[in-house]
Amino acid sequence: MMKPTIYDIARIAEVSTATVSKVLNNNGRISEKTRKRILKIMEDLQYQPNVLASAMKGKFTYQIALLIPDIDNPIYAQYLKHIEERGQGFGFSIVMCSTDNNPEKEARHVSLMLQKRVDGFIIASKFKNEELLNKLLKDKVPVVLFAYEKPELLIDSVTADDFLGGIAATDHLVSLGHRRIAMIAEDSYSGKERLRGYMTALRSAGIEPDESLVIYSGAGLEDAEETGGRLLDVKERPSAIFGCNDIMAVGAVRAARKRGLAVPDELSVIGFDNTALCTVSHPELTSISMPVSDLGQKVMEVIVDKIEGKDKIKQRIRLFPELVVRGSTAQKR
């Protein structure tokens, strides 16, 4: 069977080849209904544009690299889902690379993606290789930071407001009567902003933050459980724990269970990100919800504008997170 061509797509869609080309190149004025119909036909026929030929002519390859730091954290699967959905609407596919927070892995992935002539990079959270990031910017490669910021660099970023999220999480615990509130922290830009929100909310409530109640944890569930255990083994243990993400919060719940402490009756726990972990945890986890759909849509709009040379002004976009109350937090007894 011969591979479908742009002419086949145009014939079935009853449009001109120029219209199909506009959908592929994501330019020109086309109704959303027509765009979706053409994309559906392409999908049904498994049509693949000759991206190598386009690349050799200096055109787009319609591929964007998404670099994530930790494939085990379910928030990145949610981000990928919404970024991919929006990417398809623009005619771009997403290539995901997991870096494990390793600068050498970051360099290898970026080198490979540049060889594949991807049109741009979405870098999600924590990019350790500062030298490489600066080189990408110097070489005018389209790059957008996602779910974190680098205020010291002139670079586009799309993130939720982690600082306000940290305030919302802590305010919720304070409103339930908790005053000895611990935090399992994370060494990242977003983690530090969440910690800053926690500190700000405590001070606003007239509670002087106790540095001994803030412990940094590794990224894994076992690390989080061990850190949660250390917080619960102190003489005057906290009545509530704020996990910097849902993995850390679930780790705290597990640590409490191993010590015979009931959640939320003897310990309230709140997470951050509102991932699928929240509803499989027992009790279900109260968490701060990231606007993942809006974030995915916005980051694709910014990166596509950069690729097409439309966006000359650097943007720092922040969206608002929301509190989702479930069964892991309760009034202090």
Q: Which domains does the chain have, with CATH numbers?
A: 6-49 (1.10.260.40), 59-160+291-319 (3.40.50.2300), 162-290 (3.40.50.2300)
Distance CA 112, CA 270 (A): 39
Q: What's this model's pTM, rounded to 2 decimal places?
A: 0.70
Distance CA 89, CA 85 (A): 7
Strands (DSSP E) contained in the chain are: 63-68, 93-98, 120-124, 143-146, 156-160, 181-185, 214-216, 240-243, 268-273, 286-289, 316-319, 322-324
What 3 state SS string does 93-130 have? EEEEEECCCCHHHHHHHHHHHHHCCCCEEEEECCCCCH
Distance CA 250, CA 227 (A): 11
Per-residue pLDDT tens digits of the chain, which is 333 residues long: 566 777 788 888 888 877 887 777 666 678 888 888 888 888 788 776 654 444 444 567 888 999 988 777 788 888 888 898 888 878 888 998 888 878 888 888 888 888 888 899 999 867 777 888 888 888 888 999 998 888 788 889 998 899 999 999 999 999 999 999 999 998 888 889 999 999 999 999 999 999 999 999 888 889 999 999 999 998 899 999 999 999 999 999 999 999 999 999 999 999 998 988 999 988 999 999 988 888 888 998 899 888 888 766 788 889 999 999 999 999 988
- 311 burial via Cβ count (<10 Å: 0-12, 13-18, 19+): middle
